Structure 1
Amino acid sequence: MTASEIRKQFLEFFQSKGHQVVPSAPIVLKNDPTLLFTNAGMNQFKDYFLGNKVPQYKRVTDTQKCLRVSGKHNDLEEVGIDTYHHTMFEMLGNWSFGDYFKKEAIAWSWELLTEVYKIPGDRLYVTIFEGDAAEKLDKDQEAFDYWKQHIDEKRILMGNKKDNFWEMGETGPCGPCSEIHVDCRTDAERAAVDGASLVNKDHPQVIEIWNNVFMQFNRMKDKSLQPLPAKHVDTGMGLERLVRVLQGKQSNYDTDLFQTLIKAAEKYCHKKYGQAEKTDIAFRVIADHIRAICFTIADGQLPSNTGAGYVVRRILRRAVRYYFSFLDVKEPLLHELVPVLAKQFEEVFPELFEQADFVKKVVYEEENSFLRTLESGIRRMEEVMANTTDKIIEGRTAFELYDTFGFPYDLTTLIATENGLKVDELGFEAALKEQKDRSRAATELDMGDWQVLQDAGSSFIGYEQLTSPAQVTKYRTIKAKGKEQYQVVLNHTPFYAESGGQVGDTGVLHFEGEDIYVTDTKKENDLIVHFVNKLPQAIEGELIAEVDAGKRKSTAMHHSATHLLHAALRQVLGTHVAQKGSLVHAEGLRFDFSHFAKVTDEELAQIEAIVNEKIRENIPVVITEMPKDEALKLGAMALFGEKYGDFVRVVVMDHNYSVELCGGTHVGHTGELGMFKFTGESAVAAGVRRVEAVTGEVAEHYINSQLQHVKDVKILLKNPKDLVKTVEQLVADKAKLEKELAVLEQQQLQQVAASLVNKAIPVNGVNFLGANIDVNSGDALKQVAFSLKPLLENYLVVLTATVGNKAQVAILIDEKVSESKQLEANKIIKEHISSLIKGGGGGQKTLATAGGQDSSQLDAVIEKVKSLL
């Protein structure tokens, strides 16, 4: 069976058991502060388990894109080394929300594996939770009794809390679980060693393929367990491992899920998989990582230096490092695999296929950039090795290569080893820990448990009204960057929670005799959370929730303008334009979109004119709710990476112009926007451009301020008839004067050099010249030193200067002197000068410079260099 057939059989099996097949949630999470990525199939159903939301279906099944590279579930460093760990993987799952429980879940697991997939029962083992005295949790006898109906008791093994009590994270839904393991060894191997002794022992051929989690508890902040409102089933079976078992392979990477990618990679690096361990690991890393990279980008997460974007960049750079180091590929490779992967998953996850060109461009630019980083890092590494005298590269130097140059630590150690050097690993780890501690302190968010006042949902009523009676249903304390805040949830609220690029509302909660100000509103899964700086004395009473109407109005105007802008961009630039991010607030809008070239001034003017024309037409903004499939048939634009329900909100501004799925707030007619004005255009990432704009009163203020700037410039220039021509002349005059000044400065420096020649004195057979001179920069000092080169023979020159109360030093050595005296300018700087002036520097063996904080030691610098002769 192919992987596609195996996936299909799973979904059809559970469909026959009354399950609704639902689509995968995006791999990038947006409304869960505890996670960056979907790391388990249950993430999208978390609110059902907690009782925050009522599920549309009691039973569902799906295949979910998952990513595990950070936090509790972190498999990154094992990927490629072994044959069964992955970053991105598919989690096949079946779910019960307060419906069936252990009996059915266990029976169906056995039926699917042994009767549908035909896995011999004598190759299967199951584990159940043995209990935990410290947690006061009993053995899962219920699961044991149900398993006895299907499998020999000898194959039912007890598992500890680590292996058989599943938790999504530090807090949240959890419960005992029952894992199913399969023994893939040969008959002879199985006869020699009992498979039961190898379960959960990281044996490469005795592997877990399915986990049935019985969700019963909610882990609280204080580590206590509270029963969930209802009992649920959450199962997860890794497709990659299942395919390996059913296709009779020794490795996940030998299956058709990965072989297509590996064979494509072989063509580009002219090496074969299966011939050497190091190259095999590199092939596995590439085949795994390209999946994680592509699906995260397709779901809207671009590589960047922070958060989820940094994780994507890190995965990509790990893949580049492996093909650079072990496959001897020095040109971008990963982007060539994007079309192969997109075609492979076209029917399962079509979002990648639809964006293949865009994703390929982003991956190429990231690869190319990192390859340049590797080249510059290698050059820096060569300098470090040249200046290493004790065969050990300092840990902080290795960390600088990693942190500043993006140069991987293991590549540093590899190159060092090849050159007979070692790296101070403890020093590197200490520097890395310091950085992580600083980063953690800056971003740490400490959230307390919810204090529940009433068991009620959280509904948004803010489309129709901005003021409403309400009650607090739950609240909690949070600490961020050392400051204490509070979050409250209302039974219903007019406050819009940050979503779809639109910022959250601010306003006031009017309690009896006390006003509490809402500083922000966000979504946490499906909860609408209000951020406040204090709690009222009487939190359980009725309140009036009032949104800041002025901010909401201006924000809505900018959101409607975003829709008009999106349509105009596609009209002028092409239908390849797709939204890649947005920010909508009261002061303006920011819109990121796929496009591979700078938007010209002419194109911007054309787009702006179209938007303003639509504003003047005063088009009604029609908002309706309808089934998602019906909306898509109408041509409504949906955002990649967004999770939509079966019913969606459609915003129409002329059926022939703009039709989009959108949950944001909008104006009634486009004429309310008044005017639209661009304020900026720039690049965000490879293949992504950004425009910024304003509308309404904000646009009016912007235009008035720009006109005032022009007026001020005219006054300064004494009201010229042609302002542009006058400014052009000023710029030309300035450039001419700067050029003339540079010539004069160069002549002056040459004169300074000529005046120094007679100060050279013989020292041990060398013409030594040491002088403290007056220049205005370190570059000027270096130029003077360089100018002395043709004026002297057999020389060693040290020039010093005080520039802005700081020390500057330049050392020039004749090549013959360098060889005969074994003196190198860069080593002199490092070993003798840096400590004197409390600074540092470097360069070549015949010319090097340094700068430092202490200019009082410049005479000592000259004497020190002289003493070396």
Structure 2
Amino acid sequence: MARMVLRRTVLLLKDIGVPTALPDMVLHHIDNFSKTYPELNNNRAHIMDMVNLEIDRFNQTLERGRRTVQRAIDSGGINQDKLLELYDSQGLPPSVVSDFANEQGHTIEVPDGFFAMVADRHQGGAKEVKKDPEAIGSEPTALDFYKDMEKRSFSSVVLLSEKGQISLKNTLFYPEGGGQQSDLGVINWDNNESKVIDVQKIGDVVIHYLEGEIPKVGMQVRGIVDDKRRSGLSMHHTATHLVGAAARQILGPHVWQAGASKYTDRARLDITHHRRLTREVIDNLETTVNQLVLADHPVTTKFYSREDADRKYGSTLYQGGAPKYRDVRVVEIPGIDAQACAGTHVSSTSKIKAVKFLRTERIQDGVERIEFSAGPDAIKAAQKERALLEETAEELGVPIDQAPSAAQKFVKERKELRSRVSSLEKELASFKSSDLEVENIGSIKFYSKDMGDADFGEVQKLVREITSEEGSLAAMSCASGNKGTVVLAKSDSVNLDCGTILREALTSVGGSGGGKDSYAQGACPKDKLSDALSKIRNLVS
């Protein structure tokens, strides 16, 4: 909505002859409303950065849009569906499309209620209402992993047992949720042991999915959580909170979590930010996160009522979305970060050991994805990068610190060689086309030749060279092994359907093919290529 308002304002300002007035208007509103809303003045620099960036982007969109409208008009005009498509794909309002069309001597009719049509198009059918999972006929499970996140073994009693799944009176196994994978491990009872292959929470009951035998209701069991997996997940979950906190510290309070996933060896955090993350910003984020790790900040957890949590921490507490429960579990790194979170964490930041950023990318407009590894996996990632760098430097024959410049030089030379090869290929195609005998069939200059074992790409270049001349038709073939390939193409002025002709010719020799009226290709046995070219010649004449 903010983007729509800004872009509409830009257009209106252009209409009244003050196209550059928007930044001054926004500054005036910030000054006027900051007494009531002091956060406007606190975020003045960020707001103006976003406004100026949006103006630049919209101007670029308009320039691209002018060319897009021209192509649309040339390819058949702009109807209601095309208007909707231009708005959805290019961000071009119908009034702008109409103006561009007028510049080019065309009139566009904008339907009444256009933006209602846009809304209907995006809303589509009625949304499917998700049903709550069916209730499990078992007592609620006591979540012991919240009482002691360092503990890995426990005793319990089976409350439900059926079809490879059990529920227990209490458990240390964390169920999948909040972007964190579930714990795995084993369940022991009597002389039996079964693997826990998945853990899910349905309502207030934690279901443990077992591989192998399952204990019966009422049996005493012992559960052992996979320590390496839990530790990896916990480190990456706490590291995710630190990355988000560092992003808000460095980029600004506008940063919000748009998504997150935690795995045993890596994690990703999607954040809202209007610009791409530069190398400098990425390095700054990584450094800040590792400083927080080394500072050994405690990580605390506590349950609050929703009202108390809102009162103490405010809406920024809900980075991962509003909780479904009345009581809110707050994971806090005092002075650094506080979030409503149901996941497992380490007890202090120093237990993360290190964080290594792996990559960043823009996954959609205004959302940046940061992928990283923590703990021993961060060290492994750094070692892997070092090994790749050393291998690259060795292949280039230079010291490591000279690898980037050597690679740049190599890429530049490769581009120059590719350009030279392309130029030589064109010269070769031109030479070969001039060497071909031409047969005049009415007003058509007909070229036909079997190129033997020539590369198919070379044949295509030759065909393009021939058909660049008005009134030309080219039928060329080549072979690879026992398979023959035939190409038939024409220049625009030739009134023939290459697809129909080639299909008939190849069918007559046991092959197949087809294409457009201007270009077609197909295949047949190698020993039938000559017959196929002769058939094309006969069909043309």
Whether these two folds match at TM > 0.5 is: yes
CA distance in 1 between partners of 2:524 and 2:160 (Å): 57
Structure 1 residues 619 and 534, CA gap change in structure 2 (3 angstroms): same
Residue 541 of structure 1 is matched in structure 2 by 219
Aligned to 1:825: 498
1:26-66 CA-to-partner distances (Å, cap 9, x unmatched) read: xxxxxxxxxxxxxxxxxxxxxxxxxxxxxxxxxxxxxxxxx
Query: CA separation in 2, counterparts of 1:660 and 1:541?
Result: 38
Q: Which residue of 2 aligns with 1:672?
A: 351
Describe the superposition over 1:635-676 as per-residue Cα deviations: whole angstroms up to 9, x where unpaired. 252046543322111111123x20111111111111111111
1:130-189 CA deviation, whole Å, 9 max, x = no partner? xxxxxxxxxxxxxxxxxxxxxxxxxxxxxxxxxxxxxxxxxxxxxxxxxxxxxxxxxxxx
Of 447, 465, 486, the residue aligned with 1:787 is 465
1:698 to 363, 371, 377: 377
Q: Residue 700 of structure 1: CA displacement?
A: 0.7
Q: Deviations over 1:472-527 (max 9, x none)?
A: 333444xxxxxxxx333222211101111111111111122221111222233443
Task: Choose from 128, 143, 167 the match for 1:460.
Answer: 143
What is the CA–CA distance in structure 2 between the aligned matches of 1:701 and 1:772, rounded to whole Å?
Answer: 56
Q: CA deviation at 1:852?
A: 4.7
Correspondence 1:135-150 to 2 at 5 A: none
Specify the code of the residue in structure 2 equivalent to 1:466: R
Cross-structure match for 2:19 = none
Q: 2: CA distance between counterparts of 1:724 and 1:544?
A: 55
- CA separation in 2, counterparts of 1:654 and 1:450? 38
TM-score by length of 2: 0.69
Q: How does 1:206-221 map to 2 (within 5 A)?
A: none
Amino acid at match of 2:478: A
- 1:410-489 counterparts in 2 under 5 A? 455-463=138-146, 464=148, 465-477=151-163, 486-489=164-167
Give the CA deviation at 1:740: 2.0
Code of the aligned partner of 1:497: P
In the alignment, which residue of structure 1 is the partner of 2:364?
Answer: 685
Paired position in structure 2 for 1:723: 403
Q: Could you list the per-position Cα deviations for residues 684-730 of structure 1 after superposition, in whole angstroms to 9, with x for gaps in the alignment?
A: 23332211001111101111121122222333334437232222222
**Residue 794 to residue 550, structure 1, CA distance change in 2 (3 Å):** closer
CA-based RMSD: 3.5
Cα distance in 1 for partners of 2:503, 2:277 equals 48
**2:515 counterpart residue number:** 842
After superposition, the Cα gap between the structure-2 partners of 1:737 and 1:834, relative to the gap in structure 1 and judged at 3 Å, is farther
Q: Deviations over 1:357-394 (max 9, x none)?
A: xxxxxxx66x859x9xxxxxxxxxxxxxxxxxxxxxxx
Q: Flag the 1:332–1:569 CA change in 2: closer, same or farther, 3 A.
A: farther
Q: Is the 8 A contact 2:490 2:519 kept in 1?
A: no
- Per-residue displacement from partner, 1:804-852 (whole Å, max 9, x unpaired)? 876543323355652xxxx222443456558978665534x3x303255
Structure 2 CA distance for aligned equivalents of residues 669 and 608 of structure 1: 18
Report what 1:330 is aligned to: 84
Correspondent of 1:495 among 173, 177, 180: 173
Tell me, yes or no, if the aligned pair for 1:487 and 1:530 is still in contact at 8 Å: yes
Alpha-carbon shift at residue 784 of structure 1 (Å):
0.7
1:537 to 1:676, Cα distance in 2 relative to 1, 3 A: closer
Question: Are the structure 2 counterparts of residues 561 and 640 from structure 1 closer, same or farther at C-alpha, using a change threshold of 3 Å?
Answer: closer
Q: Structure 1 539/597 Cα, relative in aligned 2: closer, same or farther at 3 Å?
A: same
| Matching residue within 634, 637, 648 for 2:312 | 634
Q: Hey, what does 1:532 align to over in structure 2?
A: 210
Partner of 1:82: none
In structure 2, C-alpha distance between the alignment counterparts of 1:515 and 1:802, rounded to whole Å: 63
Partner amino acid for 1:862?
L
Matched with 2:59 is: none
State the shift of 1:470 in Å.
2.3
Q: Does 1:577 align with 2:248?
A: no
SS at match of 2:318: coil
Kindly state the Cα deviation for residue 742 of structure 1 after the two structures are TM-superposed. 1.8
Query: Contact 1:808 / 1:849 at 8 angstroms: preserved in 2?
Result: no
The CA deviation string for residues 565-607 of structure 1, in whole angstroms up to 9 with x for no partner, is 1111122222222212111121111111222332111111111
In 2, distance between residues paired with 1:836 and 1:474?
71
1:654 match = 334
For the 8 Å contact 1:681–1:689, the answer to whether it is kept is: yes
Structure 1 counterpart of 2:422 = 742
- Over residues 456-481 of structure 1, what are the superposed CA-to-partner deviations in whole Å (9 max), with x where a residue is unaligned? 2223212313211123333444xxxx
Partner-residue secondary structure (3-state), 2:276: coil
Q: Does 1:859 align with 2:511?
A: no
Alpha-carbon distance in structure 1 between the residues aligned to 2:510 and 2:292: 66
Instruction: Give the % identical residues.
Output: 23
C-alpha distance in 2 between matches for 1:817 and 1:327: 34
- Alpha-carbon spacing, 1:851–1:615, altered in 2? closer, same or farther (3 Å): farther
| In structure 1, C-alpha distance between the alignment counterparts of 2:82 and 2:381, rounded to whole Å | 54
Residue pair 2:187, 2:194 contacting (<8 A) in 1 also = yes
SS at match of 2:310: helix
Partner Cα distance (1:698, 1:547) in 2: 20
SS in 2 for 1:509: strand
Question: What letter corresponds to residue 472 of structure 1 in structure 2?
Answer: V
> CA 1:680–1:826 in 2, change beyond 3 Å: closer, same or farther?
same
Residue aligned with 1:786, SS: helix
Looking at structure 1, the residues matched to 338 and 481 of structure 2 have their Cα atoms a distance apart, in angstroms, of 61
CA distance in 2, matches of 1:496, 1:602: 38
Q: Show the counterpart of 2:53.
A: none
- Following superposition, the deviation at residue 859 of structure 1 comes to 3.1
Amino acid at match of 2:283: A
Aligned pair partner of 1:708 in 387, 407, 411: 387
Aligned to 1:733: 413
Partner Cα distance (2:80, 2:419) in 1: 50
Paired position in structure 2 for 1:219: none
Q: Spell out, residue by residue over 1:98-132, the C-alpha distance to the aligned partner (whole angstroms, 9 max, x if none).
A: xxxxxxxxxxxxxxxxxxxxxxxxxxxxxxxxxxx
Of residues 487, 511, 531, the one that matches 1:810 is: 487
Query: d(CA) in 2 for partners of 1:658 and 1:836?
Result: 75
C-alpha distance in 2 between matches for 1:574 and 1:860: 72
Measure, in 1, the Cα distance between the counterparts of 2:278 and 2:371.
14
Q: Answer yes or no: is the 8 Å Cα contact 1:458–1:528 preserved in 2.
A: yes
Q: 2:68 matched to which residue of 1?
A: none
Question: Is 2:289–2:355's contact at 8 Å kept on the other side of the alignment?
Answer: yes
Q: What TM-score, normalized by structure 1, do the two folds share?
A: 0.44
Contact kept, 8 Å, 1:506 with 1:547, in 2: the verdict is: yes
**What amino acid is the match of 1:668?**
S
Q: 1:623 to 1:855 in 2, by over 3 A?
A: farther
Q: Which moved more, 1:512-521 or 1:859-868?
A: 859-868
Gaps of 5+ in 2: 1-77, 95-120, 122-132
Amino acid at match of 2:515: G
Q: How many residues get paired? A: 421
- Give the equivalent residue in structure 2 for 1:796: 473
Contact 1:834–1:841 under 8 Å retained in 2:
no
Aligned equivalents of 2:492, 2:406: Cα separation in 1: 53
Gaps of 5+ in 1: 1-323, 334-363, 372-410, 412-446, 478-485
What is the one-letter code of the residue matched to 2:234? Answer: A
